[in-house]
Amino acid sequence: MYAVIKTGGKQYRVAAGDRVRVESIPAEVGSVVTFTDVLAVSDGQTLRVGNPRVAGASVTATVLAHGRGEKIRIFKLKRRKHYQKRAGHRQNYTELRIDAIR
């Protein structure tokens, strides 16, 4: 059984027991989070697709950790103009363990 949830402007395909890194969620480590933006649910035989959400469906997850991702290097250059700019970015994330799909 799996579901497609939407959080942080992105969509994730999750199943019970999965560990997923999503955009940062303001929740304490060890707390339970419920997602109601469920876009699709499948039990292996049938697929229920919402319009835009599946009515009555929810996904519960436990917050395992908060962290920061790998550094992304940004380099801008304008040729023949002596312009160079270097920057970096590290995206915050929340690691979740999917407990149940209802």
**Bridge partners for 22 per DSSP:** 94
Confidence of residue 73 (pLDDT cuts 50, 70, 90): very high
Distance of alpha carbon 29 from alpha carbon 43, whole angstroms? 29
Encode pLDDT of 7-66 as tens digits: 999 999 999 999 999 999 999 999 999 999 999 999 989 999 999 999 999 999 999 999
Q: Domain extents for the chain?
A: 2-101
Q: Give the pLDDT score at 24.
A: 96
Q: Give the pLDDT score at 77.
A: 98
Under 8 Å between Cβ of 9 and 31: no
